[in-house]
C-alpha cells in the first residue's frame, strides 16, 4: 500500500466536508465543555474542526449562564433541568453529525459562534 493510498483511506468524505482520522478526537472534544478550547487553539488547518469547537464552546457557555437561574426556587430549577437535557441532546447530535462530516447548526448557538 502506497502512502497516498493510506492517506486516502484515512480521509472520510461525507456531506461535502472531510473528516480526517486525526480530527475525530478533536471533533469529540469540541463538544465536551471547556475541552472545546483544545481543538479551538490547537487545530490550525481544519475550518471544519474550528467551526464545531466554536459551536461547542458557545453551547457550554450558554449552559453555564442558564444554570445561574437555578437560584430561583422552582422555575429556575425547572429551566436548569430542561436546559441540561437540551445540552446533552445537542452534544450527542453535534458529535454524531461532526463524525459523519456534517455541520449541525444549533439555533442561536451557531449564530453566536460564527461571530468568533
Residues of the chain with pLDDT under 50: 1, 3-14
pTM summary value: 0.79
In this prediction, residue 114 carries a pLDDT of 87
Are 100 and 18 a contacting pair, CB within 8 Å?
A: no
Q: Each residue of 21-51: b (16+ CB within 10 Å) or e?
A: eebeebbbbbbebebbeebbeebeebebbbb
Extents of the domains making up the chain? 21-113
Distance CA 6, CA 9 (A): 5
- Provide the pLDDT for residue 21: 83
- pLDDT in the model for residue 17: 67
Amino acid at each position: 500500500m502506497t502512502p497516498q493510498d493510506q492517506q486516502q483511506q484515512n480521509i472520510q468524505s461525507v456531506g461535502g466536508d472531510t473528516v480526517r482520522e486525526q480530527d475525530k478526537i478533536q471533533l469529540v472534544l469540541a463538544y465536551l465543555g471547556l475541552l472545546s478550547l483544545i481543538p479551538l487553539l490547537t487545530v490550525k488547518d481544519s475550518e471544519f474542526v474550528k467551526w464545531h469547537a466554536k459551536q461547542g464552546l458557545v453551547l457550554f457557555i450558554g449552559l453555564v449562564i442558564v444554570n445561574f437561574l437555578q437560584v430561583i426556587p422552582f422555575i429556575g430549577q425547572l429551566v436548569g433541568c430542561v436546559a441540561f437535557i437540551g445540552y446533552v441532546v445537542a452534544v450527542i447530535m453535534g458529535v454524531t453529525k461532526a463524525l459523519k462530516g456534517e455541520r449541525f447548526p444549533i439555533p442561536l448557538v451557531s449564530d453566536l459562534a460564527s461571530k468568533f
